[in-house]
Chain A
Amino acid sequence: GDSVTQMEGPVTLSEEAFLTINCTYTATGYPSLFWYVQYPGEGLQLLLKATKADDKGSNKGFEATYRKETTSFHLEKGSVQVSDSAVYFCALSASGGSNYKLTFGKGTLLTVNP
């Protein structure tokens, strides 16, 4: 079945550091890929998405590129802020995103210190 593997946390960085959170996936067909973020005390919210190979999703300074050849969708940000402290989830949706079912990774806790 479909699965998502993301790097174990927690990740602790200083403000303005470079962030990478690795995500790889296993799926049949051509899934769509997503990053969701969960800020403390809140529900998850969609951060960015990519629906086909080589697409780059971006939002709030975060980027991720859909790499079909390596089945990866790594999240990056050039300069993190304290306000980026949250749990980040990589997810996929089979059938190009029309399927309701999202398969989530286990989440990576990011803490950014001033």
Chain B
Amino acid sequence: DVKVTQSSRYLVKRTGEKVFLECVQDMDHENMFWYRQDPGLGLRLIYFSYDVKMKEKGDIPEGYSVSREKKERFSLILESASTNQTSMYLCASSTPGRAYEQYFGPGTRLTVT
């Protein structure tokens, strides 16, 4: 069974902390994505990676960075967490030929206090 796992289901951090969210997929997918999900706003793409060490900004990259050192792992980094980054973060992966068929992890609910 295909799987995308995220390091934490729930996370509480303080304002100004550096936060790492980890995502691992076991499907050998080239594409990986980070979204945030907010009530009334749906899903918004933060960053996308189409290969190891390659990345592209999504719609809302401000305040975030990413790292992809291995094909199976894609990390989202909040350099200095702020309260407006309190959200549900979803990781996804896909193959280039079927880029629309994205497999999602269960999400990390991050609260910044």
A binds B: yes
Q: Is the CB of B50 within 8 A of A100?
A: yes
User: B48's contact among A44, A89, A100, by CB below 8 Å, is which?
Assistant: A100
**7 A-B pairs with C-beta separation under 8 A:** A43-B103, A44-B43, A46-B101, A89-B43, A101-B45, A102-B45, A102-B100
Contacts of B40 in A (CB 8 A): 106
User: B42's contact among A43, A46, A105, by CB below 8 Å, is which?
Assistant: A105
Contacts of A91 in B (CB 8 A): 100
**B residues touching A (Cβ–Cβ < 8 Å)?**
4, 31, 33, 40-43, 45, 48, 50, 58, 90, 92, 94, 96-107
Question: Once the chains are docked, how many angstroms separate the CA of A34 from the CA of B94?
Answer: 15
Question: Once the chains are docked, how many angstroms separate the CA of A45 from the CA of B97?
Answer: 18
Q: How many A-B residue pairs have CB under 8 A?
A: 59
Question: Once the chains are docked, how many angstroms separate the CA of A62 from the CA of B96?
Answer: 27
Which A-B residue pairs are the 3 nearest by beta carbons? Answer: A43-B104, A106-B42, A100-B99
Give the size of the chain A interface in residues (CB under 8 angstroms).
23
B-contact bits for A55-88, CB 8 A (1 contact / 0 none)? 0000000000000000000000000000000000
A32 in contact with B100 given A100-B31, A100-B48 (CB within 8 Å):
yes
A89 in contact with B104 given A43-B92, A98-B99, A100-B31 (CB within 8 Å):
no
A102 in contact with B102 given A89-B42, A107-B42 (CB within 8 Å):
yes
